[in-house]
Amino acid sequence: MEKSKFKPNGFALVPFLIFVVVYLGIGVTLVAKGDPMGFYGFKGPVAVIVGIIAAFLMHKGSIDEKFDALVKGCGDANIITMCIIYILAGAFSVVSKQMGGVDSTVNLGLTLIPPNFVTAGLFIICCFLSIATGTSVGTIVAIVPIATGISYSTGIGLPLITATVVGGAFFGDNLSFISDTTVAATSSQGCKMRDKFRVNSFIVIPAALIILLIYIYLGYGMQLPATLPSIDYIKVLPYFIVLISAICGMNVMGVLTLGILSTGIVGIAGHEYDFYGWLKAMGDGILSMGELIIITMLAGGLLEIIRENGGIDYIIQKMTSHVKSKRGAELSIGILVTLVDICTANNTVAIITVGGISKQICDRFGVDNRKAASILDTCSCCMQGIIPYGAQMLIAAGLSKVNPIEILPYLYYPFAIGIAIVMSIVFRYPKRYS
């Protein structure tokens, strides 16, 4: 492993902790005082700015050096890509809604899915789409608007149905051959994708089946509208275009762009809006993502300052200093990638960051590289699906207009795979790879 040029420094993590405490602490305080929208009373970008100010005051170096690190983090390729996805997702969400696509798609879904299997059906659809496309973000963008409409029509709690989509999205993010996390995990550990998939399947598919049974149980007693409005099938077409193009492997940004264009054609042809109305709807959708884009860029800048001051390296150093057995080695790999994901809010970046040292641990303690790749991927996906400030959670919450904290208790699948991977380490299964 290439040695890091940054000296480990635990003090570097303090600004990030300040950001988290301010962001979550004030929201919790306001909610406790009786404000149900307390988390929206104190804006996330302000909390990040507080953390950035703390970083500027605490860390050594000139102001120019700190600004350079901040700008570098804000302009990171992964951050900019994420922001572009936010922009396109917001535009697609609003233009499709104003065109009437959400209502038509919801009504179609209600006619095809038996009432008792709405949540289970959505989970299966999301699992299939995410494993076919390899992207949790793309799955969430495509399905959450539909799920939101179903929630309003059926009375299913919006946090529950949003969490169902998020859980299904991470099924494929964890298992798909074309997922970034799979590519990062297998390449860093030097194993084949099919072997990692085989190990991963033994661990997470039983968890997925258990969660599916839970969703079936939760679906009983659900009351659908006695009569459903007529379905305008042409308005459903843009969603099918998005889903099919995603399944075919198109880049998520290409998928969203195609969805926006097709929605515009259908909406203008159906006189739902004219050309200028379509442009206005896109603008409204983009502006609706403004806060999310700002907090994403600022958080990227803050984490870059922390990284250059040795915060990430400090975590890595501490987590690997007491490893003495194969089980301990596997646990340290899992804990390490989990902590880095908490700090970076990016499961792919977390795997890349930890991958090198994970390989060293495997070589030293005889850990099967296929099991290590599975641990890296599963632990990072588990934590990424839970943290309220992760991209997937923020997008899902933004599209459904639900607070991420409200979604958290219903994230059954991410919690389930977390339990499953811990059990696989403690009880040493699958035996062939442990």
Tens digits of per-residue pLDDT, 381-419?
A: 999 999 887 888 888 988 888 888 899 999 999 999 999
Residues 304 and 382 in one domain: yes
Flag whether 106 is in a domain. Answer: yes
Closest CA to 133 of 261, 242, 215: 242
- The alpha helices in 100-251, defined as continuous H runs, are 101-112, 118-133, 136-154, 158-175, 180-189, 193-219, 233-247
pLDDT band at 1 (very low <50, low <70, confident <90, very high): very low
Q: Is 2 a residue whose pLDDT tops 50? A: no
- Looking at the fold, whether 212 and 159 belong to one and the same domain comes out as yes
pLDDT tens digits, 147-160: 888 888 777 889 99
Give yes or no: residues 306 and 170 share one domain. no
Measure the N-to-C terminal CA separation of the chain; round to a whole number of Å: 24
Query: Across 68-77, 112-121, 292-301, 353-362, which has the greatest mean pLDDT?
Result: 68-77
Q: Please give the tally of structural domains in the chain.
A: 2
Which of 262, 284, 306 is the endpoint of a domain?
Answer: 284
Residue 3, φ and ψ in degrees, nearest 5: -70, 135
CA distance to 41, 123, 298, 338, 366, per residue, from 418 (Å): 32, 18, 29, 10, 23
pLDDT band for 170, please (50, 70, 90 cuts): very high
- Is residue 69 situated within a structural domain? yes
- Whether 71 and 83 map to the same domain: the answer is no
The C-alpha atoms of residue 285 and residue 382 are separated, in whole angstroms, by: 29
Residue where one domain finishes, among candidates 284, 315, 336: 284
Both 227 and 247 in a single domain? yes
Q: Per the domain annotation, does 373 fall within a domain?
A: yes
One domain for residues 337 and 411: yes
CB atoms within 10 A of CB 312: 26
Tens of pLDDT, residues 32-48: 776 655 555 667 788 88
Report if residue 119 sits inside a domain: yes
For residues 239 and 271, the answer to whether their CB atoms sit within 8 Å is no
Q: Is residue 121 part of a domain?
A: yes
Q: Do 28 and 123 lie in a common domain? A: no
User: How many Cα atoms occupy the beta-carbon half-sphere of 291 within 13 Å?
Assistant: 14
| Whether 226 and 156 share a structural domain | yes
Pair 140, 385: CB distance under 8 Å: no
- Assess whether pLDDT exceeds 90 at residue 78: no
Residue 1 lies in a domain: no
Question: Are 158 and 194 part of one and the same domain?
Answer: yes
Q: What is the C-alpha separation between 427 and 434, in angstroms, rounded?
A: 9
Judge if 258 and 304 occupy the same domain. Answer: no
User: Per the structure block, which two tokens stand in for 343?
Assistant: 């700090």
Same domain assignment for residues 106 and 207: yes
Q: Which of 252, 284, 316 finishes a domain?
A: 284
Residue 46 structure tokens: 């302000």
Mean per-residue pLDDT for 290-306? 84
Give a yes or no: residue 3 inside a domain. Answer: no
Are 136 and 250 contained in the same domain?
yes
Does some domain include residue 402?
Answer: yes
* Residue-range definition of the domain harbouring residue 37: 10-76+292-433
